[in-house]
Amino acid sequence: MPLNLEQQILSIQHILQEIFGYREFRGPQQSIIEHTVAGGDALVLMPTGGGKSLCYQIPAIARQRRGLGITLVISPLIALMHDQVGALLEAGVSAAFLNSTLSGDEAYQVEQRLLRGDLTLLYAAPERVTTPRFLAQLDSLHQRGQLSLFAIDEAHCVSQWGHDFRPEYRALTVLHERYASVPRMALTATADTLTRADILERLQLQDARQFVSSFDRPNISYTIVEKRDATQQLLRFISGEHLGDAGIVYCQSRKRVEEVANLLCDEGIAALPYHAGLDNKVRQANQDQFLRSEGIVMVATIAFGMGIDKPDVRFVAHLDMPKNIEGYYQETGRAGRDGEPADAWMCYGLQDVVNQRRMIDESPAEEAFKQGLRGKLDALLGLSEATDCRRVRLLAYFGEASRPCGNCDNCFSPPAVWDGTDAARKLLSTIYRVQQRDGISYGAVHISDILRGKNTEKILQRGHQSLSTFGLGADFSEQQLRGVLRQLIAIGAVTVDAQAFNTLQLTDASRAVLKGEVAVQLRQSVSTPAARKAKRAGTSAAVKLPAALDLPAQERYLALKAWRAEVAKEHNLPAYVIFHDATLAAIAQRAPQSLDDLQGISGIGAKKLEAYGQQVLRVMAAE
């Protein structure tokens, strides 16, 4: 018998508390879950750490209890599958995954459980879901009325405009075509208006209800600095604010990953490398150590991070500019998933802009698509060069209005602005004159040296000291001219010829700048981040204690963390899958003496109370 609305609400609230140990939903979770439990299609946009997984896990449990069968979660992320299935099993929910980490016999056993209806949730990759063998298994379930819900995670992967396009996601249209009566939910943390429209079209979700949460992560502080000596800047950042914290450092190349990881280790910072060129076992071991240990810094390419649910990552740093704001937002969103203060730090320079622009220009894609990529890069450069609130700019990109946040470098210390139009015109004139005279082009350093009037050996050999623009920019610093060139490349007034040693070329757009029709406004270059209003002092690698706990409670908290580490190791799970730090802090604060005292603490559901309640009480009794 179908449940009425009141019964549905009571049912999902009971699941929230009984299974997951939470008393209240966050943001739009309840509306999404009610809509999905009732059989509606949905597109869910929710920031990283916003609680997307509950939006399909609770409907899966609720609909399975009503005899509607299993929920299939489609994800490209092996790490996410492992962590979420481990957490669900800990909470007493029947779940499994099918991926490449299973042996043939293990995969067969999972398939048999699927066909018997023994599972509430099954996680699988899109490549597997669309195979004839797997579709035949879904056909069997559908014929018996045992297909409850399709949850398509990382749905931006279906869009060519998304930052992580995966062609295999396009084949997921078969789910609607073959099982039209089964509700579908597409979820993502990052999608601008163009990507959102593409998701709806590609997955045939035009009639789905859209749930768009705020993209704001107020606990994350944003800082973007001009690149001078990137590794030393990174070292100052980590040593000054995050010594002993877990963090992620993103680099563009595998070689750079190795260099930076070694440098951090040499400086006494526990760091590990992660990139696709590492041996699979080494890569997996490094990821496991990052997830299961405290205070590890993972230095990685963007191959690392998707599906990583580690809640206590205190910073994400970029040593190179990402491709677009979506990628930047998703990567920085891996910091502070627990809601505690965290930092997003990035340094960028002219070469970053040159490299990204070159990759776009040299790609075999159609010109219309490349133009879209250039627009996305320009938006990220605009965020980097911005003189106003970073968060306002970031949220505006996703169509969300906001006010200055007071929690970014520009809010802490508003930068000075200067008019770079004159410098831009002189740079373009210099590029034109050397090309006109010599018939060849030159790189950024040489053009800048001419304009600043430097008598370098190269300038003297080529007679460029006789050019009319020689020395006209003597009042400009190298940093200022680099900033001007970044802007000129970003707006397409200058291109970089990768086939000719990264030499600078004029374009049709150069003319408007030369005529003074386009203004070039820039922030004053600064070599160090702005001082923060409440900057955290660097600390040792010791466990960081919740400030709200008094001394006896802190001792109980440390004892609980030690106990949790043993349990996690025994179960081969990350510690946060057993209990989050916030749950341990709440237990330490309450100092429970009985199982009844543990009831109602956020994060302790019925299964975990049964499994760990007595052990927790013994830890408390020993303190």
Query: 564 and 452 in one domain?
Result: no
**Least-confidence region, from 84-98, 301-315, 318-332, 405-419:** 301-315
State the pLDDT at residue 536. Answer: 46
Q: What is the model's pLDDT at position 450?
A: 94
Residues 402 and 253 in one domain: yes
Q: Which of 223, 232, 226 has its CA nearest to residue 527?
A: 226
H-state helical runs in 333-420:
350-362, 367-385, 390-397, 409-412
CA end-to-end distance (rounded Å), the chain: 51
Q: Extract the tokens encoding 608.
A: 């975990």
Query: How confident is the model at residue 598, as a pLDDT?
Result: 93
Which one has a higher pLDDT value, 7 or 351? 351
CATH number for position 605: 1.10.150.80
Interatomic CA distance for residues 117 and 137, integer angstroms: 11
Query: What is the pLDDT at residue 540?
Result: 43
The pLDDT of residue 236: 95
User: For 222-239, what is the mean pLDDT?
Assistant: 94
Residues 224 and 203 in one domain: no
Whether residue 308 has pLDDT greater than 80: no
> In angstroms, rounded to a whole number, what is the distance separating the alpha carbons of residues 76 and 145?
26
Q: pLDDT digit string (tens) for 428-445?
A: 999 999 999 988 889 889
Return the HEC string of 234-265. Answer: HHHHHHHHCCCCEEEEECCCHHHHHHHHHHHH
Mean pLDDT of 450-462: 93
Burial of 186 (0-12, 13-18, 19+ CB in 10 A): buried
| Signed CA dihedral, 378, 379, 383, 388: sign only | positive
Residue 542 has pLDDT above 90, yes or no: no
- Band (579; pLDDT cuts 50, 70, 90): very high
- Same domain for 453 and 370: no
- 190 Cα distance to chain centroid: 9
Question: In this predicted model, which residue has the larger pLDDT, 194 or 246?
Answer: 246
How high is the pLDDT of residue 500?
A: 67
Domain of residue 310, CATH code = 3.40.50.300
pLDDT-based confidence at residue 191 (cuts at 50, 70, 90)? confident
Which pairing describes strands 271-274 and 297-300: parallel, antiparallel, or unpaired?
Answer: parallel
pLDDT of 405-422, one tens digit each?
999 999 998 888 888 899
3-state SS, one letter per residue, for 489-501: HHCCCEEEEHHHC
> Does the residue 254 lie in any domain?
yes
Q: Please check the confidence at residue 58 and state whether its pLDDT lies above 70.
A: yes
Range 467-498 burial, b when 16+ CB lie within 10 A, else e: bebbebbeebeebbbbbbbbbbbbbebbbbee
Q: Pick from 396, 415, 434: which residue ends a domain?
A: 415
pLDDT at 304 over 80: no
Which of 99-103, 113-117, 146-150 is least confident? 99-103
Euclidean distance between CA atoms 415 and 524, whole angstroms: 6
Question: Residue 505: phi, psi to the nearest 5?
Answer: -125, 145
Residue 89 banded pLDDT, cuts 50, 70, 90 = very high
Query: Which pLDDT belongs to residue 521?
Result: 77
Least confident among 60-74, 483-497, 585-599, 608-622: 483-497
Q: Are residues 157 and 206 in the same domain?
A: yes
- Candidates 615, 190, 166, 593; CA nearest to 394 is 190
Token duo for residue 255: 């070689």
Q: Note whether residue 142 is domain-resident.
A: yes
3-state secondary structure 158-186: HCCCCCCCCHHHHHHHHHHHHCCCCCEEE
Encoded tokens for 217: 């992560």
- The pLDDT, as a whole number, for residue 351 is 85
User: CA–CA distance from 537 to each of 254, 354, 390, 528, 534 (Å)?
Assistant: 32, 36, 23, 16, 9
Label residue 623 exposed, middle or buried (CB < 10 Å: 0-12, 13-18, 19+).
Answer: middle
Dist CA 304 CA 23 (whole Å): 33
User: Residue 541 — pLDDT band, cuts 50, 70, 90?
Assistant: very low
Question: pLDDT-derived band of residue 511, with 50, 70 and 90 as boundaries?
Answer: very high
What is d(CA 52, CA 45) in angstroms, rounded to the nearest whole number?
8
Residue 185 lies in a domain: yes
Q: Which of 168, 194, 212 is the last residue of a domain?
A: 212
What does the pLDDT read at residue 596?
93
Per-residue confidence (pLDDT) for residue 129, from 0 to 100: 93
**Do 250 and 302 fall into the same domain?**
yes
Instruction: Decide if 528 is inside a domain.
Output: no
pLDDT in tens, 121-161: 999 999 999 999 999 999 999 999 999 999 999 898 888 66
Give the tokens for residue 213: 């949460």
pLDDT higher than 80, residue 427: yes
CATH of the domain at 468: 1.10.10.10
d(CA 615, CA 54): 27
- Given pLDDT bands bounded at 50, 70 and 90, which one contains residue 61? very high
Q: Which domain holds residue 488?
A: 418-523
Residue 163 pLDDT class (50, 70, 90 cuts):
low
437: in domain = yes
Amino acid identity of residue 172, one-letter, is L
Q: Tokens for 187, please give them.
A: 């979820």
Based on the domain organization, do 10 and 136 belong to the same domain? yes
Helix orientation angle between 325-332 and 390-397, rounded to the nearest 10 degrees:
120
Quick check: 4 pLDDT over 70? no
Q: How many CA atoms lie within 13 A of 487 on its CB side?
A: 23
Assess if residue 292 is contained within a domain: yes
Q: CA-CA distances (angstroms) from residue 157 to 42, 193, 328?
A: 17, 15, 16
The model's pLDDT over 585-607, given as tens digits with 9 standing for 90+, comes to 999 999 999 999 999 899 999 99
Q: How confident is the model at residue 365 (pLDDT cuts 50, 70, 90)?
A: confident
pLDDT of residue 27: 87
Q: Given the DSSP bridges, would you call strands 494-497 and 503-506 parallel, antiparallel or unpaired?
A: antiparallel
Looking at the structure, tell me whether residues 205 and 224 fall in a common domain: no
DSSP-assigned letters across all residues of 260-308: HHHHHHHTT--EEEE-TTS-HHHHHHHHHHHHHSSSPEEEE-TTS-TT-
Two tokens, residue 346? 């990035």
Question: Can you tell me the distance from the alpha carbon of 256 to that of 375, in angstroms, rounded to the nearest whole number?
Answer: 27
Six-digit token string for 133: 């063998």
Residues 319 and 338 placed together within one structural domain of the fold: yes
- Cβ proximity of 556 and 260 under 8 Å: no
The torsion region of residue 523 among left (phi > 0), alpha (psi -120 to 50) and beta comes to: beta
Helix (H, G, I), strand (E, B) or coil at 582: helix
Which of 442, 426, 518 lies closest to 474, judged by CA?
426
The half-sphere exposure of 416 on its side-chain side, counting CA atoms within 13 A, is: 6
d(CA 91, CA 411): 42
Query: Average of pLDDT values for 316-327?
Result: 91
Residue type (1 letter), 446: H
- Alpha-carbon torsion 5, 11, 14, 15, what sign? negative
Q: Tell me: do 226 and 152 sit in the same domain.
A: no
Task: Examine residue 358 and state whether it is found in any structural domain, yes or no.
Answer: yes
Provide the number of structural domains found in the chain.
Answer: 4
Same domain for 286 and 204: no
Q: Is 606 helix (H, G, I), strand (E, B) or coil?
A: helix
Task: Indicate whether 162 pLDDT > 70.
Answer: no
Average pLDDT for 38-54: 91
Q: Is the pLDDT of residue 617 over 80?
A: yes
pLDDT band at 492 (very low <50, low <70, confident <90, very high): confident
State the Cα–Cα distance between residues 57 and 235, nearest whole angstrom: 41
pLDDT surpasses 80 at 283: yes
- Name 272's bridge partners: 298
* pLDDT of 301 higher than 80: yes
Residue that finishes a domain, picked among 196, 212, 228: 212
For the segment 64-83, what is each residue's pLDDT rounded down to a tens digit?
999 999 999 999 888 788 88
Q: Which two tokens stand for residue 516?
A: 């003074």
- 354 with 252, same domain: the answer is yes
In this prediction, residue 190 carries a pLDDT of 78
Would residue 540 count as lying in a domain?
no
> Which pLDDT score is estimated for 74?
95
